[in-house]
Chains A and B, each alone.
Chain A
Amino acid sequence: MPDIVLTAQQQRTRKRNLTEKRFRRLCFAAIAVTAVFLAFLVMNLGIKAVPAFTSSAMPLTINVEPDKVDSTAIASGDFPGMVKDAIAKLMPKVESRADRKKLYQLLSGSVADEVQHRVMADPSLVGKDVTLQATLSADADMFLKGQQTSTTKFAGTAPLSLAADGEAFKISAQGHGFKAGEIVLTPTGALRVTETSAEGAKAEALVAPDETGAVAAGQWQSLQFSDGEDSRRTSDLEAVWLQRFTDQGKIQSMFDKALFTNGDSRAPEQAGLRGAFIGSLFTILVTLLTALPLGVAAALYLEEFAPKNRFTDLIEVNINNLAAVPSIIFGLLGLAMFLNFFGLPRSSSLVGGLVLALLVLPTIIIASRAALRSVPPSIKEAALGVGASHQQAVFHHVMPLAVPGILTGTILGIARALGETAPLLMIGMIAFIADVPGRITDAATVLPVQVYLWSTLPEAAFRSRTSAAIIILMIVLLCFNALAIFLRNKFERRW
């Protein structure tokens, strides 16, 4: 019965095709899920990091008063005082000491430092005016970026009637319903709405207006915040000041160079990645210079020269197992060996690099051995056949063909080392280090540890800094991988 046989065959074929289709769909689904996760991660990081790449600043003219700085001892001058005076001049109505301090704190502490730097570089500036772009503090910056609370602004489209009511004021405007907590800015003052009723609202003065009466349409505005004053770091009064500066067109948003040029700092607007970046660079350099020669030499010996016996088998098994050892164990080893036994400097890139070298050594050895093994034996035989010694055959013919594989393995190992945090915690690279390291023996930190450090800090501004640091770390890693692909393609030879 050939028909039945055919049908059974067909059924089997159909079943097989269905299985294959199902398997393909499953594979596609796996890719899709991974892509969704990745997209979510990148978007989330990107959105969070954007604020960290810009900072707010305003031009400020500071009079370097001779009575605040002695031109023979500039370093001990009262530069914060000068900056305080300079910004107070912009807000003449602020008189109380506490308010002036608050006003000064809208600016970053780096402003006074910068004035000091300029005067130290050019002592003739004493007694003159210094104009600079004064960076705002992280809190002010976050407020302006809407990271603290979302602000809704109303332009006064109808005239505002303003009448004194004892200490407080009565306000009303046609077509505008005031809300408690709303801030009304008139040309000379600022009021906070305390009570609302059908015909108007009661408000208290934040900045007393010079005159009462009617305020023309377009001359006033009001701000509503989604969060109450208690739950944000910028008070209503500070918000008023910032709004005034914004209205004067003073506040500018610019690229945040500090993120790239500064070392770590407790003040978010001054905290930068330069220290961690240089630390990472030194550490990786130490790792590369240690792990690459050691790893390649070990791989060469094991693959090409070592006799095959129990001892080399044992070494091989151990190397393979080392690749799977949790990285923190290497940190403990580094702590015991490099710090406690050899007494190398704590927290230094030198020790960090050595620990990471231990960590990536197995990876490099395994990758290099695989690369050496993948060179066709006929090439080595050919070299031996014309009378090359074993070593010549290996170094003239096998090694060059294995280089792309060795490089790829090494760079991927180095990329792993670059992203490693745990072992470095054990050797003290977690300390807060504000200085950019200048030598490999200086205390330093590295990018991933910096990410960890910033992520533990309470200031909201550090949240975006953390995301920015992660993005920069990922870009560095991406560059490493791109380099690996480039080198592999460049050195790849066909036979």
Chain B
Amino acid sequence: MNDMTFKTVFTPPQPKILATNPAKIIAEGVDVYYGEKHAIKNLSLTIPDKAVSAFIGPSGCGKSTFLRSINRMNDTIPGCRVTGVINVDGQAIYDPSIDVVDLRARIGMVFQKPNPFPKSIFENVAYGPRIHGLAKDKTALEQIVTESLKRASLWDEVKDRLHQPGTGLSGGQQQRLCIARAIAVNPEVILMDEPCSALDPIATARIEELITELKEKFCIVIVTHSMQQAARVSDLTAFFHLGILVEAGDTDEVFTSPQEKRTHDYITGRFG
């Protein structure tokens, strides 16, 4: 393996989105190892605030790994090691002075498979605010729950059964419940790891709609296997391949005139 493969081969011009939106997350020279395996190689990327950034790429290319590095979820995996710098709002999140718990409250996460707690819908959303002490009393907590469910456009469907188990909802509703749970702690960034891969097209459309609404308030990073989805919802697209960030840029640019051959081959379906 020569030195070239460790670098983004092509340095694109500054994406236009960064001109209008300030940078929220800046990664510089990030390497991630799972034991001996070098999963992310020398990655540098700037993610804009109040916008949707999509990571695309074939399976095993490291996009989920990088996503999980942003809120340090990789810490829970034994043998996982992250080097390099990831800054959120100019703060290095791998700095020893950073408390992971606070960080994860600022950077929420939605997982691939809907994973509501086996508790009531209310409890699912209320859990985060409760452990962070965001609500002073019961009324305030109820307000946060209502507000979060409304923002996750789930309120109308569940307002009559808040105290029924969250696991009884449909897959799409469960995923929106997970989004409501994530936004209930009032994070700055929401990471979504293939949030629609377990959902049917109608539920997917609702989540995509929701993502578009949520980007008004949050910095959203989404990992997706569907290039159409990336094209529909995202402002910035980053293409990963074999642990390397191949190309990152404005979504329209990446999809219409990719600068890299590998990107072109992937989005036209030659591989992946």
Contacts and interface: CB of A to CB of B under 8 A. Distances in A.
A382 B104 contact: no
B108 A378 contact: no
Most chain A C-beta atoms within 10 Å of own C-beta, residue among B100, B102, B118, B184? B118
Contacts of A397: 117
B41 interface: no
Interface string A383-405: 11111111010001100010000
Interface range on chain B (Cβ under 8 Å from partner): 20 to 34
Interface in B196-242: none
Contacts of A493: 118
Interface string A358-382: 0000000000000000001011111
Nearest to B101: A389
B182 A381 contact: no
A495 interface: yes
A379 B127 CA distance: 13
A97 interface: no
Contacts of B132: 387
Contact of A385 (B73, B78, B113, B118): B73
Contact of B182 (A307, A308, A385, A392): A385
A494 interface: yes
A494 B118 contact: yes
Interface range on chain A (Cβ under 8 Å from partner): 20 to 34
Nearest to A400: B118
Contacts of B71: 385
Interface string B130-166: 0110000000000000000000000000000000000
B111 interface: yes
A379 B116 CA distance: 7
Contact of B108 (A379, A380, A386): A386
Given A397-B117, A494-B167, A495-B118, A387 B102 contact: yes
Given A378-B111, A379-B117, A396-B127, A386 B73 contact: no
A386 B111 CA distance: 11
Contacts of A386: 104-105, 108, 127-128, 131, 181-182, 184-185
A383 B131 CA distance: 10
A378 B115 contact: yes
B76 interface: yes
A70 B113 CA distance: 87
Interface string B166-178: 0100000000001
B51 to A, nearest CB: 21
A384 B167 contact: no
A397 B178 CA distance: 15
Contacts of A389: 100-101
B248 interface: no
Contacts of A401: 118
A308 B111 contact: no
Given A308-B78, A378-B111, A388-B101, A383 B118 contact: no
Contacts of A390: 76
Interface in A106-160: none
B166 to A, nearest CB: 9
B109 interface: yes
B104 to A, nearest CB: 4
A381 B73 contact: yes
Interface in B227-264: none
Contact of B167 (A307, A385, A387, A495): A495
A382 B117 contact: yes
Nearest to A397: B117
B131 A387 contact: yes
A382 B111 contact: yes
Contact of A387 (B115, B116, B128, B178): B128
Contact of B105 (A381, A387, A396): A387
B113 A378 contact: yes
Interface of B: 71, 73, 76, 78, 100-105, 108-111, 113, 115-118, 127-128, 131-132, 167, 178, 181-182, 184-185
Given A384-B104, A388-B128, A390-B76, 11 more contacts: A378-B113, A378-B115, A379-B115, A385-B73, A385-B109, A386-B104, A386-B181, A387-B105, A387-B131, A401-B118, A495-B118
The 10 closest A-B pairs by CB, nearest first: A387-B105, A386-B128, A385-B109, A378-B115, A387-B104, A495-B118, A382-B115, A493-B118, A389-B101, A495-B167
17 contacts: A307-B78, A378-B113, A380-B76, A381-B76, A382-B115, A382-B116, A383-B127, A384-B104, A385-B182, A386-B104, A386-B127, A386-B128, A386-B131, A386-B184, A387-B131, A388-B101, A401-B118
Interface of A: 307-308, 376, 378-390, 392, 396-397, 401, 493-495
